[in-house]
Amino acid sequence: MSTHKTISLIGTFAATGVLLHRLLFGAWSLGVYAILLAGIALLCWLEGVSALIIACALLFFPLVVLHAFLEDLFMKERSLPEWQRNDADFLAFGIVRRLKSLQEVSLINLLDAALKTNEGAFIVQELGRDPQQLMRSLRAALDAVPDTSVAPVLRAAHERMTALKRTRIGAGILLAVCFERFEQLKDLLNECDLAQEDLVAILRWERFHELFRYSEPFWTPDGLLQSLGSIGRSWVMGYTNAIDALTEDLSASVLWKCHRHVRIHADARANALRILEKSDLHDLLIIGRVGVGKKVLVEHLAYDIRIQERRKSREYTRVLILKTEELLSGVRNPDMFLLQALKKAQESGNFILVIHNLALMLQSGGEKIRAILMKFIREKNVQLVGIISAEDYHRLVRSDPMLDHFFEKIMVEEPADTETLAVLMEHFFQLVRTYNVHVTYKALRSVIDLSRRYLPNQAFPGKAISVLQDAMMLAQKADDAFVEERHIREIVSQKGNINVMELSQSDRDRLLNLQERMTSSIIGQEDAVHALVNTLKRAGLEMATGNRPLGTFLFLGPTGVGKTHTAKVLANEYFGSADAMIRFDMNEFSTESSIAGIVGSAEGETSAGYLAQCVQDRPFSLILLDEIEKAHPKVINLFLQILDEGTLIDYAGMKTDFRNTVIIATSNAGALFIRDLFRREASAQDHRQLMQEVTESILHEKVFSPEFLNRFNEVILFHPLSKDEAARVAMLMLTDIVEDMKTKRGINLKVEEEVVQSIVERGYSREFGAREMRRVITDTIENQLADYMLTHEVKRGDEVVIRRQNTAS
């Protein structure tokens, strides 16, 4: 039996406010006031303005006062309700106001009213649903709930309100409690692909939203201050035409331009401010990765300096951002110009010169610019703030101890996810005015998750903001009302040069059929193919999101069994092209000095090694380390970090992300052992036992260290090919030639079976597998065919049959 107990809200705090409001300012009341006002106006017109009429008009002022009083008491909801006799007293005024009746209020009535409030509308938006559709779904789901009594829901909502330190039960709390209490509603959340925790996060975001709903009018004290600035202070500064031409004055607009609700890097900001306030050694170097927020930190600093000036009546300090590129490219003698400009500026007052591209300045400016900077670093009235990346700091500043000594350093680290989310939310409220599209909570979360995984070369929050902005632009151009996860995936795919779109049906089919297609091209190595395909299936569904590459494999086996060929087929079938394979012949890395080929070197200007560069350019690729056992042990040790952490730090300190790569190392180590093993007891032992024996043999011979072997996802044993398998390999190779002749020249090439047998006899051996097969086919088929086509007239549509007797007809 179902229970749907309703409640009466009469007598509750919000209901009292609503009733008073309706009584004084309802439609009827406003009508009466309008009639009275019209009467007074008529009297004025007929009788002229008299004391009596003024006295009548005065009666209306209490209405304004009462409205302000009711608004203050009931609507602002900054403090707890005046009386708290039951849980319903805590209901938000906005919800109660939207109820048609205050008696016999059901849960559906409450939810309906809640979704119509600003808060409710925002939450519906974040769920990515239409309000009416959501209400219909809620109604249908609640119909199936046996007990929808209002009182227990309000009790739970009251508890949740207290936990969230709020003063009223708003739409968000009401929805969160309903989703939590009623199993039937959880399907609705699942449809939105959200968890209960996400709903709570949306509640927090909604509170954040309130900060942006209200913008300070210009006539308020803060508005005036932001619009007009500070006249007397700025008059203290002298004329600085020269420096003004090459700088942007951040102080002039800092109060209105740089006022942000979310401020990250609080410690770095406090430290920087402390350093800038020092009387000595007060020049600052802000070090951090691209996108970590170094420029924003400078803006915040400028803001803090202005606030401190106001609070402590300090002298006016200008924060000037040097346009480095213009100085270096647009001025005939940049050093002379900068020297004169700084001297003049120094005489005219205090200023902080921010060089946002210090690396460029030091690199391109030469010794003279460096000397000028050194001169002004310790001078009065002038402070320098340099912005530089960690790599450039080590390369350009750290290497010059004199310069390094004069700067205090602040390292700006990547913010935590929660901080990045807050920054994103703030940016969303600014961007929505431009693009007029909303962002669902799930999309916002995915900005962080996908950027972290697929855009490793930049730092948060910069990369997340960039993705969000591009996604909003994309949605706007596509006339979509919401930015959803698919928009974010599309942008991340473009920016990361990697396909991270959700799997389409064709992608699913491709993955499901991958094993079949690979085994048709790879003969006799089913175990290897099976292991590879399983890994790629996991990667396709993003099940492997740890800090390791998508898959790491060590292919062991004798030569000519298809280890390298397997990697090529995989690159073609899964990565779409053989070009997606980055191949390293590891015998080229057999000396200690060859380590530079992987991580770069100090010589020359190359900052990254070849491997790192390749992966930075193509993060989603297959890396083939051919004959890894021939590499120098120090080179092999480098790969320990890649296999384990999924990253490589090169000579310049730059981190390269390998998490979206598949790494395949091939090796002939233990080949003799494997061949003997298969010869003796090929079918007698199971694969696992064989694998163990081979591994032990390799470790015993000290070809690889145990820690190296253990870091691979799988060590895969390639079986020596049997003669039958070699014949199938020969058939595959010949099929390629036949198809090539057909498509390119239109010639029907036929190869008799005896020819295949002959090729196998000459091209296959137990020791070298099918290694010689390609050479034999070139000698016996391709060369002969070329001779025949040169000596005979072969036209399109002709048929050429290859027989064993070395004759062709």
Partner 1 sequence: MSALSLLEHPADLSAIALRFLPWYFLKVPGRIIRGYGAYVRALGEIFSFWFLIRTFLKPWKSIVDRYPDRGFNLGLIAQAFTLNCTSRVIGMIFRTVAFVLGVVMEIIVLGVFLVLLFVWILFPFVFVLDIFYLIGALP
Q: Footprint of partner 1 on this chain (CB under 8 A)?
A: 10-11, 16, 19-20, 22-23, 26, 51-52, 55-56, 58-59, 61-62, 65, 68-69, 72-73, 82-83, 101-103, 220-222, 224-225, 228-233, 235-239, 310, 313, 316, 347-349
From CA 258, how far away is CA 296, in angstroms rounded? Answer: 8
Query: Is 12 or 572 the residue whose CB approaches partner 1 more closely?
Result: 12
* Residue 478 Cβ vs partner 1, minimum distance, rounded to whole Å: 45
* Residue 167 Cβ vs partner 1, minimum distance, rounded to whole Å: 16
Length of the chain: 809
Query: Is 72 or 326 the residue whose CB approaches partner 1 more closely?
Result: 72
Sign of the torsion angle spanned by Cα atoms 687, 693, 695, 698: negative
Please provide the distance, in angstroms rounded to a whole number, between the alpha carbons at the two ends of the chain.
90
From CA 18, how far away is CA 93, in angstroms rounded? Answer: 7
Query: Is 65 or 402 the residue whose CB approaches partner 1 more closely?
Result: 65
Query: Is 231 or 684 the residue whose CB approaches partner 1 more closely?
Result: 231
Query: Is 155 or 344 the residue whose CB approaches partner 1 more closely?
Result: 344
Helix H or strand E segment including 581: strand 581-585
**SS3 breakdown of the chain: % helix, strand, coil, rounded to 5?**
60, 10, 30
* Residue 228 Cβ vs partner 1, minimum distance, rounded to whole Å: 5
Query: Is 237 or 500 the residue whose CB approaches partner 1 more closely?
Result: 237
* Residue 141 Cβ vs partner 1, minimum distance, rounded to whole Å: 29
3-state SS, residue 111: helix
**Which of 533, 304, 268 has the alpha carbon at shortest distance from 409?**
268
Query: Is 234 or 637 the residue whose CB approaches partner 1 more closely?
Result: 234
From CA 137, how far away is CA 112, in angstroms rounded? Answer: 12
Query: Is 56 or 80 the residue whose CB approaches partner 1 more closely?
Result: 56
Helix H or strand E segment including 267: helix 266-277
Q: In 289-393, which ranges are continuous DSSP H helix?
A: 294-312, 324-330, 334-348, 358-377, 390-392
From CA 417, how far away is CA 10, in angstroms rounded? Answer: 45
Sign of the torsion angle spanned by Cα atoms 739, 741, 747, 750: negative
Query: Is 72 or 516 the residue whose CB approaches partner 1 more closely?
Result: 72
* Residue 25 Cβ vs partner 1, minimum distance, rounded to whole Å: 11
From CA 422, how far away is CA 447, in angstroms rounded? Answer: 12
Q: Which two tokens stand for residue 268?
A: 């770095």
Residue at 643: amino acid letter = L
DSSP string of 752-802, one letter each residue: -HHHHHHHHHHH-BTTTBTTTHHHHHIIIIIHHHHHHHHHS---TT-EEEE
**Which of 116, 68, 64 has the alpha carbon at shortest distance from 92?**
116
**Which of 656, 646, 645, 665 has the alpha carbon at shortest distance from 600?**
656
Query: Is 46 or 231 the residue whose CB approaches partner 1 more closely?
Result: 231
* Residue 217 Cβ vs partner 1, minimum distance, rounded to whole Å: 13
From CA 88, how far away is CA 23, in angstroms rounded? Answer: 21
From CA 461, how far away is CA 453, in angstroms rounded? Answer: 14
Q: Which two tokens stand for residue 245?
A: 């031409």
* Residue 596 Cβ vs partner 1, minimum distance, rounded to whole Å: 56
Q: Which two tokens stand for residue 181?
A: 């209490």
Query: Is 83 or 541 the residue whose CB approaches partner 1 more closely?
Result: 83
**Which of 515, 422, 506, 403 has the alpha carbon at shortest distance from 460?**
422
Contact in structure between 197 and 147 (CB atoms under 8 Å): no
Q: Which residues sit opposite 796 in a β-bridge?
A: none
Query: Is 14 or 352 the residue whose CB approaches partner 1 more closely?
Result: 14
* Residue 15 Cβ vs partner 1, minimum distance, rounded to whole Å: 9
* Residue 251 Cβ vs partner 1, minimum distance, rounded to whole Å: 14
Contact in structure between 276 and 445 (CB atoms under 8 Å): no
Query: Is 9 or 185 the residue whose CB approaches partner 1 more closely?
Result: 9
* Residue 43 Cβ vs partner 1, minimum distance, rounded to whole Å: 13
* Residue 347 Cβ vs partner 1, minimum distance, rounded to whole Å: 6
* Residue 254 Cβ vs partner 1, minimum distance, rounded to whole Å: 13
Q: Which two tokens stand for residue 457?
A: 């070369």
